[in-house]
Amino acid sequence: MIAIELIRNNPELVKENIKKKFQHEKLPLVDEVLTLDAELRKYKQQGNELRSKRNTLSAQIGQYMRNKEIERANEVKAEVVKNNEKIAEIEVKEAELGEKVKQIMMQIPNIIAPDVPIGKNDTENVEVKRYLEPKIPDFEIPYHVDILEKLNGIDIDSARRTSGQGFYYLLGDIARLHSAVLTYARDFMIDKGFTYVIPPYMIRSEVVTGVMSFAEMDGMMYKIEGEDLYLIGTSEHSMIGRFMNTIIPEAQLPLTLTSYSPCFRKEKGAHGLEERGIYRIHQFEKQEMIVVCKPEDSSTWFEKLYNYTVELFTSMEIPVRTLECCSGDLADLKYKSIDVEAWSPRQKKYFEVGSCSNLTDAQARRLGIRYKTEKGNEFAHTLNNTVVAPPRMLIAFIENHLQADGSVRIPKVLQPYMGGKTEISVKK
């Protein structure tokens, strides 16, 4: 959520930003919120004047009572009652208008970075850099589920019976590999100086609306029936929610945190949810990184965060590239975003395995996350990035480390987490 002062002072800049994101249907919201804001400020001024008058009248009552001018004191008391009735009416209007302004403000997208490429959707994202040389082996690479089944590492048919489409069982060495990557990612981030956190896996609606737009919420979140609780789609949600309505001492910034959690997503509108694949699913696990920092530091942290993901994947000998997300591919709260994509030898192309975002103060304004300075309280900046999400990572891992005999090689950095195993063999 941007500052209302920005819309008051430069509505054309806000409208131009909306156009860059190809959300032309939101353009009328700028004028609408300006009209409501002007009306709200008018009522606030009237309320302040009436409260000031009430203070004056209260002082008069005290003076009359001390002078034993009871009749005049009662006249002023009657005037105070009428004054309070007007204040109550105005406060109701203030609350109504304030809520309308808030609802509109939460629909207006964050201002994007000046260097964000302009484009309508993810097909217009811009490649930044490649890491490690992509390789295509001289043997055919099967579909990832076929590889996993030959390794006796997955059971999708049973999961479909117990839970429906978009779920799976991982088995044996593949399940161990899944956990090994998460544990390695945890230790990797701890070595970078991040504090390890296991957060709540359910959050209240006020946190949900604070961390994402309404459209994202509808397309992602599972609600717990009969309770004001939602299953998290990523641990970023509860990690950022932890600081809701808090004032952080400046000396404690930056807060650098890495969190593990299962994640739950409806994947509403995700056409082509593969019957047998694990690329887009309803439940998975993920290691995340979160930073809460001062505004002047967020650009530096943004660079660090996505490079940590690159370093992690290349340490596992998986070629990756980074993509600058274009304006139309940025969620409403994002200022700037970089996707990390891993190489798929089977498809001979890259696919997304992580996303790094700088949200500037957009989340902090929604959630009331501030830090204390000598000059007063300021809104913090928040950033998040995927360290690793094993379902997609597993696809990249087994394709890039598949050997001609169907076994999967374990790179050196993961061998300690796999009990010293150097490969996962085909089960006969």
pLDDT tens digits, residue range 127-152? 999 999 998 899 999 999 999 999 99
d(CA 94, CA 223): 31
Q: With left for phi above 0 and alpha for psi between -120 and 50, is residue 153 left, alpha or beta?
A: alpha
What CATH number does the domain located at 122-424 have? 3.30.930.10
In this prediction, residue 271 has a pLDDT band, given cuts at 50, 70 and 90, of very low
How far is residue 339 from each of residues 109, 310, 335, measured CA to CA in Å?
20, 10, 14
The predicted pLDDT at position 268 comes to: 56
Which pLDDT value is given to residue 116?
A: 97
Residue 414 sits at φ, ψ, to 5 deg, of: -95, -15
Per CATH, the homologous superfamily of domain 4-105 is: Serine-tRNA synthetase, tRNA binding domain (1.10.287.40)
Q: Please answer whether residues 125 and 119 qualify as being in contact, where contact means their C-beta atoms are separated by less than 8 angstroms.
A: yes
pLDDT of the residue at 66: 86
Domain borders along the chain are: 4-105, 122-424
Start-end of H helices in 163-271: 172-191, 205-211, 214-220, 235-241
Return d(Cα 339, Cα 334) in angstroms, integer.
Answer: 13
What is the reported pLDDT for 266? 87
Q: Are the beta carbons of 323 and 421 closer than 8 angstroms?
A: no
Query: Of all helices (H) and strands (E), which one includes residue 105?
Result: helix 70-105
Question: 248 CB contacts (<8 Å, ≥6 apart)?
Answer: 255, 292, 369, 370, 371, 372, 380
Inform me whether the pLDDT recorded for 273 exceeds 60: no
pLDDT of residue 71: 86
User: Predicted confidence band at 404 (pLDDT cuts at 50, 70, 90)?
Assistant: very high
Q: Which of 164, 163, 166, 169 is nearest to 149 (CA)?
A: 169
Please state the pTM of the whole predicted model.
0.88
**Equal fold, 4-105 vs 122-424:** no
Is a pLDDT exceeding 70 seen at residue 397? yes
- The single-letter DSSP state of residue 106 is T
Distance between CA 234 and CA 240 in Å, rounded?
A: 11
Residue 65: per-residue pLDDT: 87
Contact 288, 384 (CB under 8 A): yes
Read off the pLDDT of each residue in 201-207 and give the average, rounded to a whole number: 92
Chain mean pLDDT for the chain: 92
What single DSSP character describes residue 19? H
In this predicted structure, what is the pLDDT of residue 215?
Answer: 67
Share of the chain above pLDDT 90, in %: 79
d(CA 254, CA 252): 6
In DSSP terms, which residues pair with 169 in a beta bridge?
155
Q: Which residue is associated with the tokens 């109550």?
A: 88
CA distance 148 to 154: 6
Q: Are 220 and 249 in contact (CB under 8 A)?
A: no
226 has a pLDDT exceeding 50:
yes
E strand segments, 232-348: 246-249, 255-264, 283-293, 320-324, 336-344
**pLDDT grade for 274, boundaries at 50, 70 and 90:** very low
Please give the pLDDT value at position 276.
61
The Cα–Cα gap between 210 and 109 comes to 13
Beta-carbon count within 10 A of 388 CB: 25
Q: What is the pLDDT of residues 56-113, one digit of tens each?
A: 888 888 888 888 888 888 888 898 899 999 999 999 999 999 999 999 999 999 999 9
What's the CA gap between 42 and 105, in Å, rounded?
19
Tell me which residue of 259, 279, 261, 275 sits closest to 398, measured CA to CA.
279
d(CA 117, CA 20): 9
Q: Which pLDDT belongs to residue 27?
A: 96
Residue 153 has pLDDT above 50, yes or no: yes
pLDDT at position 279 is 82
In this prediction, residues 118-123 reach a mean pLDDT of: 94
pLDDT tens digits along 33-56: 999 999 999 999 999 999 898 888
Amino acid sitting at position 265: R
Which of 154-163, 167-176, 207-216, 309-318 is the least confident region?
Answer: 207-216
Percent of the chain whose predicted confidence (pLDDT) is above 70: 97
100-114, 217-231, 365-379: the lowest-pLDDT one: 217-231
Top pLDDT among 286 and 61 is at 286
* Neighbouring C-alpha atoms within 13 Å toward the C-beta of 268: 10
